[in-house]
Structure 1
Amino acid sequence: MEQMEEVTLLMHDYYSGFDEYEAMIISDTKSLKKLYSKINMTRKPGLPVPVVDFSTEQVIVLCLGKQHGDNTPILSKSEETEEHLSLAVSLTSENKDNQVDTLPISYPFYVYKMPVTFKKIDFKKVNW
């Protein structure tokens, strides 16, 4: 698997409002604002919506669901053809001990931008 250099992290926070894992591609401002309205539902003031030029970029959103401790996703290309791009999502953990009871619980999300592609993109969870 090849780590993706063309992907840039725009925002990360520890509460997304999504209870389960979800990965999505957003390619317009309206959809991005709709996502942030859900993320900001319990925040006053809310997190700012990132400014993205959707004519040249698209957004990848990873909502990790319920997590114990500080887990960070890593995006990698697992397969690429002319019509299809498969991205592997793996987690790295900063947790040194395995005492799950003492680790904080979070529902983190990560917002990335990448150049626009017209390939069909899917996500595969690896080593979760």
Structure 2
Amino acid sequence: MRLLILLICLLGISCSGQKGASKDKADSTIQNSKELQLVLKDNYSGIEESEFQVVRDPKALRNFFIQINKIRKPGLPIPEVDFSKELLLIYCAGTTRGVGGSELLLIKNSQDSIVFGPKEQSPSKKEFTQVTTTPFSIHKMPLTPKEIGFRKSD
């Protein structure tokens, strides 16, 4: 009987531990602005040159996923987006050494434009790894009439 109660307690603790971990991850997805949310991030896009895209329709999103899923079996699922209310920002960092380095950072938000740039990767992740990756990230934000731009880091 004690063994059964102990097993149930351990099972309950492990399940609630998983819930806490996913909640922490969800909280960390909000960047500088509550409007910019990380939807998906991965280290392998297969896109070797740095690029930035503003996606306003499902066809463009589907084309991006066709490209990144060429080498995946099974492929990454296409996120559900209401393009009547939201748009997506896709940043591919190109070929890099190390992992990560593909998240966006809000640089400027004026009356008529919004400018994003790459979030700097910590040097410790770059220095000690010999892994070559092609990271990307997809961020979601509310639909805006403002011009959206991208500025590469110096």
What TM-score bracket applies, with the shorter chain setting the length? Answer: 0.7 to 0.9
Aligned: 1:21 with 2:29: no
Larger RCO, structures 1/2 (Cα 8 Å, 6+ apart): 1
Paired residues in the alignment total 124
Counterpart code for 2:131: P
Name structure 2 gaps, 5 residues minimum: 1-30
Tell me which residue corresponds to 1:123. Answer: 150
Identity rate of aligned residues, in percent? 34
* Structure 1 position 104, deviation (Å): 0.8
1:64-79 to 2 correspondences below 5 Å:
64-79=93-108
Name structure 1 gaps, 5 residues minimum: none
* Structure 1 position 84, deviation (Å): 1.4
Tell me which residue corresponds to 1:103. Answer: 130
Q: Which has the larger radius of gyration?
A: 2
Normalised to the residue count of structure 1, the TM-score between the two structures is 0.85
Counterpart code for 2:46: G
C-alpha RMSD of the superposition: 2.1
1:3-14 to 2 correspondences below 5 Å:
3-14=32-43
Normalised to the residue count of structure 2, the TM-score between the two structures is 0.72
1:40-119 to 2 correspondences below 5 Å:
40-93=69-122, 95=124, 98-99=127-128, 102-119=129-146
For 1:113 and 1:97, locate their aligned partners in 2 and report how far apart those are by CA, in whole Å.
27
Query: Which structure dedicates a bigger proportion of its chain to strand?
Result: 1
Query: Which structure dedicates a bigger proportion of its chain to helix?
Result: 2
